Amino acid sequence: MNRTKIRQLLAAQESPGTVRVCGWVRTRRDAKDFSFMEVNDGSCLENIQVIADAEIEGYSRIKQITTGAAVSVTGELKPSPGQKQDWEIQAARISLLGPAPETYPLQKKRHSDEFLRSIAHLRPRTNKYGAVFRIRSELSFAIHRFFHERDFTYIHTPVITGMDCEGAGELFQVTAMDMADPPKTDGRIDYSRDFFEKPAYLTVSGQLEAELMALALGDVYTFGPTFRAENSNTSRHMAEFWMVEPEMAFCDLAEDMDNAEAFIKHVTAQVMKNCASDIDLFARFVDKTLLQTLEHIADSEFIRIAYRDAVDILSRANDRFTYPVHFGADLQTEHERFLVETHFKQPLIIHDYPRSIKPFYMRVNDDAETVAAMDMIVPRIGEIIGGSQREERLDVLEARMEETGMNKADYGWYLDSRRYGSAVHSGYGLGFERLLMLLTGIANIRDVIPFPRTPGNLEF
Amino acid sequence: MNRTKIRQLLAAQESPGTVRVCGWVRTRRDAKDFSFMEVNDGSCLENIQVIADAEIEGYSRIKQITTGAAVSVTGELKPSPGQKQDWEIQAARISLLGPAPETYPLQKKRHSDEFLRSIAHLRPRTNKYGAVFRIRSELSFAIHRFFHERDFTYIHTPVITGMDCEGAGELFQVTAMDMADPPKTDGRIDYSRDFFEKPAYLTVSGQLEAELMALALGDVYTFGPTFRAENSNTSRHMAEFWMVEPEMAFCDLAEDMDNAEAFIKHVTAQVMKNCASDIDLFARFVDKTLLQTLEHIADSEFIRIAYRDAVDILSRANDRFTYPVHFGADLQTEHERFLVETHFKQPLIIHDYPRSIKPFYMRVNDDAETVAAMDMIVPRIGEIIGGSQREERLDVLEARMEETGMNKADYGWYLDSRRYGSAVHSGYGLGFERLLMLLTGIANIRDVIPFPRTPGNLEF
C-alpha cells in the first residue's frame, strides 16, 4: 500500500479509511493496553498521533520504537477525540523500519542552536530546522514563480570565473593543479598549465553576465551560489550563500525600485500563506513580533529617500552611533536600523548614493556627485537588497573603470554590451539567506542553510 | 509610457491602440517614403514588424538604426496585411537608444556555432541562442513545478566540500591561501591555516547530503551546479554543469524508476507546450526528427530491462561495437544507443547492475552480485538519468565502504543516518544540460549553457 504524506492526511475533509504513513517517531507513551505515538514525516510541522493497541501486529517490538526510530504504520484514519488534532490513526499494524538506539542525539528536550549546528546532518529532524528548510524551499519556489509570471528568463551564470569582479571581498581560488607542486616557469606558478590556462576564482556575483543576457533577452534573473573568502566569524556572513539577481533591460532606477518592492512584498505574502504553521512556530518561539513585522512588509508602502536626505536625518542623531554619519560615508547597519526601526518605522529604499562609495558599473547621475544606486532597508536585518541603474554610456563607463584602476582589457566583452545596441538597464541583488532570516526571525545565518560554510567549518 | 513585451503584443486578441516596444533591430529595409524594421526584444522568438513613415518623429536618424541597434518605438498596433504575422506597429515615433556600428559581429547572415561560442556574450541576441536560453529557463521552472506539486522540499547542498565523494572523476581544489607561497609545516602545505582548516573541493554531487535531508523531510531534491576537472575536450562534457538530484525516503527502486519516468515525460511535455515556437526552430533547422522524438518520450511507456537481459541482447550484436559487451562490463554510449535506437526503438530503463561497477552507496540485491541501480536511456543522448536504491543497512554499507577502500571515519555523519531511524530510500541524478540537448537536438553541450567552462575556456 502506498504511503500518504501526513500533510495530506491532516488536510483531509473526510477519512479515506485505511492509510499507511511512514515517518520518524517523535515520542511514545505507553498505557496498560496500548501506546500513543507521535509520528512526523517531514512533510509538515505537525505530527500524526497513532494509537496502537497491544494486540496489533508488530506491537511486540513496541519498546524498540523509541524517539527517532523510523516506522511504517497502517491503520484507519479517524477523527481524534483529542483537542490538539483533528485526525489520528488507529493502527492495525506497525513495522519498525530503522531503530534509534539510546545514543540518538535528538532525545526529546531542548537543544541549543550551537549544539544542533554540530550535528547539522541530523538537525533537519527537529521541529525548528524542519520548518526552516520547508520555508527555504517555499521561498525559492515563490521567487521563481514571481519572475516566471512576469516573463523573466531564469539564467545560470558561471560559478568558476576568471575575473575578480568589483574586488568585493576576498576570493576563493580554484585549481586542478597539484598545490603541493604546481608547474612553474622561471620560479613562478605557470597557470597556462592549469585547467583553464589562467587563474580561476569562485564568483562573487553573476551581475555582469546577467547584464549581457538582459541586453539580449530583456528581463532575466539568476538564483545561484556565490562566494566570499572573508575570514570573519559573524552571525551575518558565510563563505557560500545564495543570491537572486534580476536584471532588466529598458528599466530605470525608479522601475528597479518598483520591481524590488513588489518582489519582497509578494514573496513575503506567499510564504506567510503557504507556510503558515511553520512561520507560526517562529512567531511563538523565536520572535514574538514576527507576524507583525511580516504583515507590515507585505502591506505597507515603502519609504523612498535620497541618501542625502537620509544623511541629514542621521547626522542629527549622530550621538547615538558608533560611526558618526556625514555625506560620503558608507551607511552601517546601526544607521540603517535607526532609520527603519526608530525614525520611519517602515521599510525604506535609500537611493542616489555618492559615487565615491559605489562600484564602477553604477550609472552616474547628472549631478556627477551621485550614482543611481538603491538599497532596500528592512527591520532587524538592515540592507536586504542592493541595486542600481547600470552605466549604459560607453564613454562614461570607460572613464569610471579608469578612475577605479580597473584593467579595461579584461572587460572587453562587458564593454561590447555598451558598444552594440546599449540600452538603459537596471538590476539588484538579494541575499537569499538574509531574506530567510527576516522571514523566520532567526538571528544566525548559519541556521537558515542546511550545511553552512564558514571559517574552519567544512563538515558534511 | 510603459513598454509592452513583444510576446504579449503578438498574443493580443484585439489591438490595445497605442503601444511602446523596446528591443533590438534585426533588419531594416527602406522604401521611398518609409522603412520596415523587424524588432526583437528577447521575450519570444518572433519579431514585431514596424512600419516607419518618413515624416514621423525620429525618422531623420533612420540610417543609424542598423542591425543590432537598440530602439524604442511608439505607435499603433494594427492587424498586418502581411502573411507572416498577425500584428504590426505603425510607428508614430522612433528613438535610437544605442547604435550598433558596422563592426557589430552579428550582421544578418548565418554564423557557425564555433564562432558564436567565441562571442558568447553576444550570441543570446541570435534566434538560436535566444531560443536555447528561453527553453533552459522554462525547463528549469517545469522541474521546480514538478517537484513542488508533489510536495518535495527543494534543498541547497554545499558547493564547497571537504570530501571527494565517490572519487567520480577529478576534483577542483578550492583555497584562500596564496598559491605561490602557501603556509608550510615540515615542508608540507599546512591546510590547518587555509580558510576551512583542511583541503576543500568543488562538489561532484549533492547526493549524500540529499540523503540526510530525505531521512528528515521525506522527499527532497537539489538543483545546483556540480563540477568535474576531467581534462577531456568532448561535446558531452563540461567542467561546470547543473544537476537535479531528487531523493525520496520510504521509496524503493521500482518507485524510483516510476518517479524518474514521470518526471522526464512531464517536463518534456511542458517544454513542448510552453516553448512551442522555440522548439519548432530546432525542429526545422537542427534536427528534423525532434518533434517525433519528443512526442515519443512524452507519450510512450518506457521499457524496463535488467542489466543481465540487456547484456544478453547486446552480446548477440557484439560485432557492431568498438567495446564488446559481457556481464560485468560498463555499458558505453554505443551500447545504450543501440538498445534505444535500434533494438527497442523506445526509451528504456536498465536496472540491477553488477555491484562491481557501481558505487558503494547502492543497495546490494539478494543475489549479492547486483545492486539496485537504474539508468534511463534516451535516443541520441544515451544515459540521461542514473539512480539507485541506497544501502540503508548499516552493516552492509560499512562492509561496502571497506571493500572499496574508503575511510569510514570521514563519513561518520553519513553512517549516522543509518544508525538512527534508517529507512529504505532512493534517488537519481539528472544532467540538466544533457536534457537540454535532448530537448533541442543540439549536439554540443557548450551550446546549451550561457558561458561554458571547459579546458582552457574561462572567458566572460
Residue holding cell 539577481? Answer: A245
Check A101 against B451: CB less than 8 A apart.
Answer: no
The DSSP code sequence of A334-347 is: HHHHIIIIIIS-S-
**pLDDT surpasses 70 at B164:** no
Amino acid of residue A29: R
Residue B82's pLDDT band (boundaries 50, 70, 90)? confident
d(CA A170, CA B207): 29
**pLDDT surpasses 70 at B167:** no
Contacts of A172 in chain B (CB under 8 A): 160, 174-176, 195
Contacts of B162 in chain A (CB under 8 A): 458-459
- Do the beta carbons of residue A390 and residue A372 sit within 8 Å? no
The DSSP code sequence of A238-291 is: -SEEEEEEEEEET--HHHHHHHHHHHHHHHHHHHHHHTHHHHHHHHHHT-TTHH
pLDDT at A169: 57
d(CA A145, CA A272): 15
Q: How far is B454 from chain A (nearest CA, A)?
A: 7
Check B392 against A189: CB less than 8 A apart.
Answer: no
The mean pLDDT of B17-31, rounded to a whole number, is 97
Q: How far is B41 from chain A (nearest CA, A)?
A: 6
How many Cβ atoms are within 10 Å of B4's Cβ, its own excluded?
18
Cell readout for B361 is: 552507496
pLDDT at A182: 95
d(CA B389, CA B255): 9
d(CA A420, CA A215): 10
* Residue A203 φ then ψ, to 5°: -65, 145
Check A124 against B212: CB less than 8 A apart.
Answer: yes
B187 touching chain A per CB within 8 A:
no
- Do the beta carbons of residue B51 and residue B31 sit within 8 Å? no
The HSE-up count of residue A254 (CA atoms within 13 Å, CB side) is: 1
d(CA B118, CA B126): 14
Check A240 against B160: CB less than 8 A apart.
Answer: yes
How many Cβ atoms are within 10 Å of B332's Cβ, its own excluded?
16
Mean per-residue pLDDT of chain B? 96
The DSSP code sequence of B103-138 is: T-S--SS---HHHHHHTTTTGGGSHHHHHHHHHHHH
User: Residues A5-35, buried b or exposed e (16+ Cβ, 10 A)?
Assistant: bbbebbeeeeeeeebbbbbbbbebeeeeebb
| Residue B225 three-state SS | strand
pLDDT at A45: 98
pLDDT at B457: 96
User: Residues 153-182, chain B: which have Cβ within 8 Å of A?
Assistant: 153-162, 170-176, 179-180, 182
The mean pLDDT of B42-47, rounded to a whole number, is 98
* Partner residue opposite A195 with nearest CB, options B136, B239, B423: B239
User: CA nearest B386: which of B331, B424, B335, B334?
Assistant: B331
Contacts of B396 in chain A (CB under 8 A): none
A233's CB contacts (< 8 A; 6+ apart) are A454, A455
Residue to substitute from A117, A198, A217, A410, interface B, most B β-carbons within 10 A: A217
pLDDT at A85: 87
Q: Report the residue of chain B nearest A180, measured CA to CA.
A: B189
A95 touching chain B per CB within 8 A:
no
* Residue B189 φ then ψ, to 5°: -60, 130
Contacts of B180 in chain A (CB under 8 A): 188-189
Check B148 against A141: CB less than 8 A apart.
Answer: yes
pLDDT at B232: 87
pLDDT at A330: 96
How many Cβ atoms are within 10 Å of B218's Cβ, its own excluded?
30
User: CA nearest A120: which of B188, B413, B196?
Assistant: B413
Residue to substitute from A179, A458, A459, interface B, most B β-carbons within 10 A: A458
Q: Report the residue of chain B nearest A124, measured CA to CA.
A: B216
d(CA A220, CA A212): 10
The ipTM assigned to this model is: 0.97
Contacts of A98 in chain B (CB under 8 A): 392, 418, 420-423
Residue A208 falls in which region: left (phi positive, over 0), alpha (psi -120 to 50) or beta = alpha
* Residue A349 φ then ψ, to 5°: -125, 120
* Partner residue opposite B450 with nearest CB, options A151, A157, A171: A157
Cell readout for A223 is: 538564483
**pLDDT surpasses 70 at B22:** yes
Helices (H), A165-217: 207-217
The mean pLDDT of B102-111, rounded to a whole number, is 92
**pLDDT surpasses 80 at B169:** no
Characterize the bridge pairing of strands A240-249 and A184-185.
unpaired
User: Residues 233-272, chain A: which have Cβ within 8 Å of B?
Assistant: 239-240, 242, 249-250
**pLDDT surpasses 90 at B299:** yes
Task: Enumerate residue ranges in chain A where pLDDT < 50.
Answer: none
What are B23's strand-pairing partners? Answer: B71
Check A209 against B450: CB less than 8 A apart.
Answer: yes
B188 touching chain A per CB within 8 A:
yes
- Do the beta carbons of residue B412 and residue B420 sit within 8 Å? no
Q: How far is A458 from chain B (nearest CA, A)?
A: 6
**pLDDT surpasses 90 at B271:** yes
Check A413 against B121: CB less than 8 A apart.
Answer: yes
pLDDT at A232: 87
Check B121 against A212: CB less than 8 A apart.
Answer: yes
d(CA A328, CA A343): 21
Percent of chain B residues past pLDDT 70, beyond the cut: 99
Check A122 against B416: CB less than 8 A apart.
Answer: yes
Q: How far is B91 from chain A (nearest CA, A)?
A: 18
In degrees, rounded to 5, the angle at the alpha carbon of residue A228 between the alpha carbons of residues A224 and A230 is: 160
d(CA A29, CA A50): 11
* Partner residue opposite B141 with nearest CB, options A144, A179, A453: A144
Contacts of B227 in chain A (CB under 8 A): 159-160
Q: Report the residue of chain A nearest B156, measured CA to CA.
A: A450
Check B421 against A155: CB less than 8 A apart.
Answer: no
* Partner residue opposite B218 with nearest CB, options A41, A121, A216: A41
Cell readout for A185 is: 616557469
Q: How far is A101 from chain B (nearest CA, A)?
A: 7
Residue B267's pLDDT band (boundaries 50, 70, 90)? very high
d(CA A325, CA B232): 55
**pLDDT surpasses 80 at B126:** yes
Min mean pLDDT across A81-90, B160-169, B397-406 is at B160-169
Residue to substitute from A6, A74, A121, A243, interface B, most B β-carbons within 10 A: A121
- Do the beta carbons of residue B426 and residue B253 sit within 8 Å? yes
What are B88's strand-pairing partners? Answer: B49, B78
Check A179 against B176: CB less than 8 A apart.
Answer: no
Q: Report the residue of chain A nearest B20, measured CA to CA.
A: A250
Amino acid of residue A410: D
d(CA A94, CA B90): 73
pTM above 0.90, yes or no: yes
d(CA A16, CA A80): 14
**pLDDT surpasses 80 at B128:** yes
Report the Cα B329 to chain-centroid distance in Å.
28
A295's CB contacts (< 8 A; 6+ apart) are A272
Q: Which helix (H) or strand (E) holds B209?
A: helix B207-217
Check B458 against A154: CB less than 8 A apart.
Answer: no
Contacts of B69 in chain A (CB under 8 A): 421
d(CA B423, CA B392): 6
pLDDT at A428: 98
pLDDT at A167: 53
Report the Cα A148 to chain-centroid distance in Å.
19
- Do the beta carbons of residue B138 and residue A431 sit within 8 Å? no
Q: Report the residue of chain B nearest A420, measured CA to CA.
A: B100
- Do the beta carbons of residue B117 and residue B128 sit within 8 Å? no
- Do the beta carbons of residue B77 and residue B9 sit within 8 Å? yes
| Residue A354 three-state SS | strand
pLDDT at B84: 85
B81's CB contacts (< 8 A; 6+ apart) are none
A56's CB contacts (< 8 A; 6+ apart) are A91, A92, A93, A94
Q: Report the residue of chain A nearest B23, measured CA to CA.
A: A218
Amino acid of residue B247: E
User: Residues 271-300, chain B: which have Cβ within 8 Å of A?
Assistant: none
Check B70 against A413: CB less than 8 A apart.
Answer: no
